[in-house]
Amino acid sequence: MLRRHVFSLVAAALLVLGLADTTDAQDQFIVVQSTTSTQNSGLFDHILPIFRDKTGIEVRVVAVGTGQAIKNAMNGDGDVLFVHARAAEEKFVAEGYGVMRSDVMYNDFVIVGPSADPAGVAGMTDATAALAQIAEAEAPFASRGDDSGTHKAELTLWAEAGIDVVAVSGGWYRETGSGMGVTLNTGIGMGAYVLTDRATWIAYGNKGAYQIVVEGDPKMFNQYGIILVNPAKHPNIKAEAGQAFIDWVLSDAGQQAIADYKINGQQLFFPNADG
Amino acid sequence: MAIDPLTLDRGAATPLLATSALCYDAGGKRLIDNVTLSIRTNRRTMIMGANGAGKSLLLRLLHGLLEPTEGTVLWHGRTPGRAARLAQAMVFQNPVMLRRSVQANLRFALAAHGVRGKDRAEQTDQALVMARLTHMARSPARVLSGGEQQRLAVARALISKPDLLFLDEPTSSLDPASTQMIEDLVNAAHAQGVTIVMVTHDLGQARRMGDDVIFLHAGQVAERGALADVLAQPTASSTKAWLEGRLYTAKNP
Amino acid sequence: MFSFFDILTEALGLILSWDRALSEIVLLSLRVTLTAVALACLIGLPAGALIGAFRFPGRTIVTVILNALMGLPPVVVGLVVYLMLSASGPLGVLGLLYTPTAMIIAQTILVTPIVAALTKQVVEDLHGEYAEQFASFGLRAHDRIAALLWDARYSLLTVALAGFGRAVAEVGAVLIVGGNINHVTRVMTTTIALETSKGNLELALALGVLLLTIAVIVNAAVMALRASAVRAAYA
pLDDT (tens digit, 9 = 90+) per residue, B147-186? 999 999 999 999 999 999 999 999 999 999 999 999 999 9
CATH number for the domain harbouring residue A143: 3.40.190.10
Determine the residue of chain A that is closest to C150 in CA distance: A4
Q: What is the CATH number of domain C4-230?
A: 1.10.3720.10
Give every residue of chain A whose pLDDT is below 70, as ranges: 1-27, 275
Position B253 in a domain: no
pLDDT beneath 70: ranges in chain B:
1-13, 250-253
Measured CB to CB, residues of chain C less than 8 Å from chain B are 129-130, 132-133, 135-139, 143, 147, 151-152, 234-235
SS3 assignment, position A75: coil
Q: How many domains does chain A have?
A: 2
Domain ranges of chain C: 4-230
Q: Do C197 and A17 touch (CB under 8 A)?
A: no
SS3 sequence of A166-181: HHHECCCEEECCCCHH
Cβ within 8 Å, pair C197-A180: yes
Is B208:B227 a contact under the CB 8 Å cutoff? no
- Say what percent of chain A tops pLDDT 70: 90
pLDDT at A13: 56
CB A228 within 8 A of CB A239: yes
**SS3 labels along chain B:** CCCCHHHHHHCCCCCCEEEEEEEEEECCEEEEEEEEEEECCCCEEEEEECCCCCHHHHHHHHHCCCCCCEEEEEECCECCCHHHHHCEEEECCCCCCCCCEHHHHHHHHHHHCCCCHHHHHHHHHHHHHHCCCHHHCCCEHHHCCHHHHHHHHHHHHHCCCCCEEEEECCCCCCCHHHHHHHHHHHHHHHHCCCEEEEECCCHHHHHHHCCEEEEEECCEEEEEEEHHHHHHCCCCHHHHHHHHCCCCCCCCC
Question: CATH code at B236?
Answer: 3.40.50.300
pLDDT score, position C228: 78
A182: nearest CA partner in chain C: C197
**Residues from chain C contacting residue A77 (CB–CB below 8 Å):** 86-88, 97-98
Neighbouring chains of C at 3+ CB pairs under 8 Å are A, B
Kindly report the average pLDDT of chain C as a whole number: 91
Distance CA A123, CA A218 (A): 15
Cα distances (Å, whole numbers) of residue C49 to B21, B65, C133, C148: 38, 21, 17, 8
Structural domain includes residue B112 = yes
Residue B162 counted as domain residue: yes
Residue A16 lies in a domain: no
Q: Are residues A101 and A192 located together in one domain of the fold?
A: no
Q: Which residue has the higher pLDDT, C233 or B188?
A: B188
Contact map slice: A 114-153 vs C, CB within 8 A: none
Measured between CB atoms, which of B88, B92, B98 is closest to C151?
B98
Q: Does C197 touch chain A (CB under 8 A)?
A: yes
Residue C160 has pLDDT above 80, yes or no: yes
Contact state of B96 with C147 under an 8 Å Cβ cutoff: no
**Are A127 and A195 contained in the same domain?**
yes
How many CB pairs (< 8 A) connect B and C? 45
Q: Is residue A183 a part of any domain in this protein? A: yes
Same domain, A255 and A235: yes
- The CA distance from B183 to the nearest CA of chain C, in Å, is 21
**A15 belongs to a structural domain:** no
C136/B109 touch (CB, cutoff 8 Å), yes or no: no
The count of domains in chain B is: 1
pLDDT mean over C192-213: 87
Which residues of chain B does C137 touch, with a Cβ-Cβ cutoff of 8 Å?
Answer: 108-109, 112-113
DSSP codes of every residue in C162-200: HHHHHHHT--HHHHHHHTT-TTTT--HHHHHHHHHHTT-
What's this model's pTM, rounded to 2 decimal places? 0.84
Residue A147 lies in a domain: yes
Task: Please report residues of C whose CB lies closer than 8 A to that of B89.
Answer: 136
pLDDT digits (tens, 9 = 90+) for C57-73: 999 999 999 999 999 99
Q: ipTM of this model? A: 0.89
Residue span of the structural domain in which A160 resides: 107-220
Of the residues A9, A16, A33, A77, the best mutation for testing chain C's interface (the one with the most C CB atoms within 10 Å of its CB) is A77
Q: What is the predicted pLDDT for the residue at A137?
A: 95
Is residue B225 within 8 A of residue B213, CB to CB? The reply is yes
Nearest-angstrom CA–CA distance, C185 and C103: 8
pLDDT (0 to 100) of residue B247: 85
**B92–C133: do the CB atoms touch at under 8 Å?**
yes
Answer yes or no: do A144 and A200 share one domain.
yes
Backbone angles phi, psi at A104, to 5 degrees: -115, -50
Q: Does C39 touch chain A (CB under 8 A)?
A: yes
Residue of C nearest to A23 (CA): C184
Q: Does C98 sit within 8 Å of A204, measured CB to CB?
A: no
Is A62 within 8 Å of C182 when comparing Cβ atoms? no
Q: Does C199 touch chain A (CB under 8 A)?
A: yes
Q: How far are the Cα atoms of A47, A155, B216, B251 from residue A258, in angstroms, in the given order?
A: 7, 28, 96, 103
Mean predicted confidence (pLDDT) in C180-195: 91
Q: Are A59 and A138 found together in one domain?
A: no
At residue B13, the pLDDT reads 66
Residue range of the domain that includes B149: 5-244
Share of chain C above pLDDT 70, in %: 97
Residue B252 forms part of a structural domain: no
Residues in C closer than 8 angstroms to B60, CB to CB, are 132
**Contact flag B92-C151 (C-beta cutoff 8 Å):** no
CB contact under 8 A, C197 and A179: yes
Cβ-Cβ contacts under 8 Å for C17 (sequence gap 6 or more): none
pLDDT of residue A201: 92
Q: Using CB atoms and an 8 Å cut-off, which of residues 114-143 of chain C contact chain A?
A: none
Q: Comparing C107 with A181, which gets the higher pLDDT? A: C107
Q: Are residues A125 and A179 in the same domain?
A: yes
Q: What is the pLDDT of residues C5-19, one digit of tens each?
A: 877 787 788 778 888
